[in-house]
Amino acid sequence: MGRIHVAVCETPLSCDAALAFLDDPGHGAVCTFIGKVRNTNLDKPVGGVSYDAFDALVVNTFRAIAEEVQARWGGELDVWLEHFKGRLDIGGISVVIAVGSGHREESFAACRYVIEEVKHRSPIWKQEHYLAGDSEWIPGHSLRDRPEPLPGG
């Protein structure tokens, strides 16, 4: 059975740790996705990003997503998934996803699946800090199934 590692970290994420976790003679492919802080958003210069997370539920969703990967692409796949919590400067690593598999097709597909599911299911928030001095929480995907009409709507 493949292995799963998931975590929310307040210390810098390590790609080397992910690759070490996936070191397996049975893996002919390891695919990684690394999310980083970009220096602009919608033409506004960005100086950094703060990430907030509801750790317990994030870890639960991470594990569920990783188990879905194994159910869909093979139980022998190893999955690494860590997300940062706290403030990062430009170029800082916000998320590391790595999947090891026998062949490349499975690890490519699984890696893409994991990041898309994280963005839609894991309670994590992003506050951008702009060089102009202001900050803004970035709008995202609602986890509420049945939204009530907005006030006045």
Partner 1 sequence: MTDTISLTMTLFGAFRPYTGGKTLCLTAPAGATLAQVRGLLERELRSRFPSFADAELLAVSAFADERQILDDDTVLADGAAVAVLPPICGG
Site string for partner 1, 77-106 (x = CB under 8 A): ------x----------xx-----------
Contact indicator for 127, 85 with CB cutoff of 8 Å: no
Q: Is 21 helix (H, G, I), strand (E, B) or coil?
A: helix
Comparing CB distances to partner 1, the nearer of 23 and 89 is: 89
Indicate whether 42 belongs to the interface with partner 1 (CB under 8 A): no
Integer angstrom CA distances of residue 42 from 45, 46, 121, 138: 9, 10, 24, 11
Does 71 help bind partner 1 (rule: CB under 8 A)? Answer: no
- Which class for 3: exposed (0-12), middle (13-18), buried (19 or more C-beta within 10 A)? middle
Choose which of 70, 101, 107, 122 interacts with partner 1 (CB under 8 A). 122
148 binds partner 1 (CB under 8 A): yes
**Of residues 19, 57, 90, 109, which one binds partner 1 by CB under 8 A?**
57
Give the residue with the Cβ less far from partner 1, 24 or 67. 67
CA-CA distance, 22 to 102, in Å (whole number)?
12
Find the shortest distance in angstroms from Cβ 139 to partner 1.
6
Longest dimension (CA), the chain: 61
Nearer to partner 1, 20 or 138 (CB): 138
Does 9 interact with partner 1 (rule: CB under 8 A)? Answer: no
Residue (27 or 83) nearer to partner 1, CB: 83
Q: How far is the CB of 83 from partner 1 (least distance, A)?
A: 6
54/108 with CB nearer partner 1: 54
Taking the C-alpha atoms of residue 59 and residue 78, their distance in angstroms, rounded to an integer, is 17
Cβ-contact 34, 18 below 8 angstroms = no
